[in-house]
Amino acid sequence: MTEMPLSAEAYLEGLFEPDAELERVKEGIRENGMPEISIAPGYGRLLTMLTRLVRAEQVLEIGALGGYSGICLARGLSAGGKLVSLELKQEYADLAHKHLREAGLGDKVEYRIGEALDSLEALSAEGRRFDLFFIDADKGNYPNYLEWAIRLARPGALILGDNLLMRGKTTDPEQSGNAVTKMRQFNESVARDPRLEGVLLPAYDGLAIARVRE
């Protein structure tokens, strides 16, 4: 019987050894009945690499879930760096923090619970600024999160956003719901906003990478 060829993502992922810490995070998410929607492993490695490349000292994550992306970001922080993670649900933040502590990264993260837009406004009032942002939360607010990221960015900061394709919904002309419409707006902004230098990666479920112009 002829074997079906692997997808490009499956083939490339197969070249890497499994990451035991991140596998434990995925298991913890399953055991707690949470949505299994963490960032893809390949993009997780990219988060760590980009965080290191920009020598990020202050990173802002919008959407903690179970801590998968938090670990990837915290791994790339400069010495003494900090990850601020915004999460709507206390139980999600608690599990994420547990996973980061188990990975030896618990002291690098600060969780803020509640509506992300409220937390972003508070961070602005505190004068906080960040070197890198990762957006992976409610899709209908992606354009708002992008505007806040630009406002809170240090010159040259990177802004990353996951799930651009929404499992095919954004490319389907029959789809016109609020979340899809807002994601299309976000994608167009990354591609065209003069304040940004952006790229849109189509692998997995899509990833935006934008640099805030200095």
Q: What was the pLDDT predicted at 145?
A: 98
Residues of the chain with pLDDT under 50: none
User: 38-212 has which fold?
Assistant: Rossmann fold (3.40.50)
Give the SS3 label for residue 60: strand
Q: What was the pLDDT predicted at 192?
A: 98
Give the SS3 label for residue 104: coil
Q: What was the pLDDT predicted at 37?
A: 84
> Is the Cβ–Cβ distance between 91 and 116 less than 8 Å?
no
Q: What was the pLDDT predicted at 6?
A: 86
Q: Could you tell me the CA-to-CA distances from 35 to 3, 181, 197 in Å, in that order?
A: 31, 23, 32
Predicted confidence (pLDDT) per residue in 129-155, tens digit = 999 999 999 999 999 999 999 999 999
Q: What was the pLDDT predicted at 186?
A: 98
- Of all helices (H) and strands (E), which one includes residue 82? strand 82-87
> How far is residue 103's CA from residue 25's CA, in Å, rounded to a whole number?
10
Name the DSSP class of 14.
T
> Is the Cβ–Cβ distance between 124 and 148 less than 8 Å?
yes
